[in-house]
Amino acid sequence: MSNQSDIKTLLAADTTLAATATGGIYMWSESNRLGISRETVPAAFDSTTGLIKPCVLVKGRGQRPDGGIADDTAQEVSTVEVVEVWFYEDTGYTNIETMRARVFGLLHGKYVSSHIVRWVGDPLAQMRDEVMGNVSIERSDYEVRSIKS
């Protein structure tokens, strides 16, 4: 499994997060190249109004060497992968802030599939996504450290 998949599984299993993320918790591979849309993830949208419900999207950037361990004989190298966690809701940021805080509590300083996860920043705060109809979005980034062998 990938770090992205492991994190999505952990988040989706949390009933407290799921109670706020009524539109669901998804991996990037479940959406299209622009993220969540009515075509690729219809469950994230209200069937009556068509508005996006509060939801979460997990996107991994891929592993890269971090320079900590590089043992050619044992063929081991330490790696880091940044995993982006995107938060959506139609209007406002109340649900986004609740989801963001819960995700931080579930991930920062915790082990996911024996890999340590740490928060590394919130590069997007209170933004609007015009492509999706001007919905509210925010993003938090987490790094996953591991050993590739």
Each of the 149 residues of the chain gets a pLDDT tens digit; together they read: 588 899 999 999 999 999 999 999 999 988 877 678 888 889 999 999 989 999 999 999 888 888 888 878 888 898 899 999 999 999 999 999 999 999 999 999 999 988 999 999 998 777 666 656 678 999 999 999 988 78
State residue 56's pLDDT score: 97
Q: What pLDDT was estimated at residue 17?
A: 98
pTM > 0.85: yes or no:
yes
What residue type is 31 in one-letter code? S
Cα separation, 119 vs 10, whole angstroms: 16
Distance CA 33, CA 38 (A): 13
**pLDDT attached to residue 133:** 65
pLDDT value of position 73: 84
What structural domains and CATH numbers belong to the chain?
Answer: 3-148 (3.30.2000.10)
User: How many angstroms separate the CA atoms of 102 and 99, rounded?
Assistant: 5
